[in-house]
Amino acid sequence: MKESPLKTKSKELALEVIRACKTLRGLKCESALINQFLRSGTSIGANIREAQYAHGTADFIAKLHIALKECSETEYWIELLFESGYYADKTILDKCIEVKKLLISSINTTKGKQE
């Protein structure tokens, strides 16, 4: 069975976040910032995976909403890292925005099927 683009892209984003955090630790970036970024960036995919085994459509949508919130938070941390000068690779922001769009689309599609 083919892996969903949402699961694939969220895992790629999580791996990118992990690599970025490793780099940031070497740059002596604020540890609180790194920890928050790591937590939210890896949580997206975990919540998407959890949604796979939801107890019905409402639970599925709720779990995707949690992933969307984590994605939005991750986007915030990325913006802070850019604006503070700690990180400059914009690829990670593009990946985060792509996952956010996929999440919004998945939520809307699932809601549309409920009606």
Domain ranges of the chain: 5-114
What superfamily would CATH give domain 5-114?
23S rRNA-intervening sequence (1.20.1440.60)
Nearest by Cα to 99 from 69, 77, 60: 69
Which residue shows structure tokens 């995707």? 64
Q: Per residue in 15-33, pLDDT tens?
A: 999 999 999 999 988 999 9
pTM (predicted TM-score): 0.93
Q: Per residue in 50-61, pLDDT tens?
A: 999 999 999 999
Nearest by Cα to 99 from 9, 8, 3, 1: 9
